[in-house]
Structure 1
Amino acid sequence: MIKSKYQQLAPLFLRLIIGFGFMAHGWAKISRGTGGFEKLLTQAGVPFPHLNALIAPYVELLGGLAIILGAYTAVVAVPLIITMLVAMFYVQGNYGFSAVKTIGLTPEGPQFGPPGYEINLLYIGGLLSLMITGAGAISIDAWRLRKKS
């Protein structure tokens, strides 16, 4: 019985960390200007790098906000998953699975290599989970459903 009482809170924790992560990454790209991101996409061989550099940061920023709020979660998750797949196949895929690669140790501390696709899979898994279970009781989606009934 206790489990079912709190079960609807579980998606909230997923939404908060996933949404914050997407917003942080989107804002970082926007605040620095999308030119550098476009160069990265061009170098990685991403199709339509100029268009993707303009669209992806706003998908991340606004999609992350929608995930935090639990608004249209199943719909918003789709373009976010697509951004993760593009990043995974074009950028992180060449670096293997592990998100943390210690490549050396200096007197200043450890040195890390480029991250693999582990984090991308975690984001995709979390978004798929939210698509399947829903945004939970504390969300705009739940409020909209209650209002409809």
Structure 2
Amino acid sequence: MIAHWAPLPLRLIVGYGFCAHGFAKLLRGPDNFTGLLHAMGVPMPYLMAWITIATEIVGGMFVIVGALVPIVSVPMAIVLLVAIFTVHLQYGFSSIKLLEITPSGAHFGQPGYETDLLYLACIAALVIGGSGPLSVDGWLLRRSNAFTSKDRVG
């Protein structure tokens, strides 16, 4: 019975992570992210910056509440795959690259694609296994089943 709750922490961490990245881009100024995309040669960088920010924030919020997860997972997965192939792949798998420890603290290198793969795995688990308890998707499914049952009885 406790396994029934497994999707909840996945939803919370994936949703929060996406929202945090989207809000960080927004708070730093979308023009900064647009400039980064332009430097990478992404076509229509202004539009792509806003699509990415919206995907991260809106998709993240939908995942947190477990709403339409199979639908919002598609653009979220695309954002992750683009990040893997345009940014992280060249740095290898590991997301933590300790370069040195100095008196001022630890210094790390560029992260690899490990974290992106973890996000993809969590999203896949939510799509395959469902959004779990306390989710809008679960509520919609129960409501749909209730209407379907009434149609069969009536």
TM-score norm. by structure 2 comes to 0.90
Distance across 2 between alignment mates of 1:137 and 1:25: 25
Partner of 2:123: 127
Residue type of the alignment partner of 2:25:
K
Write out the 4+ residue segments of structure 1 that deviate beyond 6 Å after TM superposition. none
- Residue identity matched to 1:21: G
Percent of paired sites with the same residue: 47
Q: CA deviation at 1:104?
A: 1.5
Is the 8 Å Cα contact of residues 95 and 116 (structure 1) preserved in structure 2?
yes
In 2, are the aligned partners of 1:45 and 1:90 still within 8 Å (CA)?
A: no
1 CA distance for matches of 2:140 and 2:4? 16
Query: Aligned equivalents of 2:8 and 2:45: distance in 1?
Result: 34
Please tell me whether residue 117 in structure 1 is matched to residue 113 in structure 2. Answer: yes
**Deviation of residue 15 (structure 1)?**
0.2
* Cα separation, 2, equivalents of 1:118 and 1:62: 23
Asked if structure 2 preserves the Cα contact closer than 8 Å seen for 1:9 and 1:138, the reply is no
Residues 1-149 of structure 1 aligned to structure 2 (within 5 Å): 5-149=1-145
Return the index of the structure with the highest Cα Rg.
2
Report the Cα distance in structure 2 between the residues aligned to 1:37 and 1:98, rounded to whole angstroms.
24
Q: Which runs of 5 or more residues in structure 2 are unaligned?
A: 146-154
Which 5+ residue runs of structure 1 have no aligned equivalent? none
Aligned length: 145
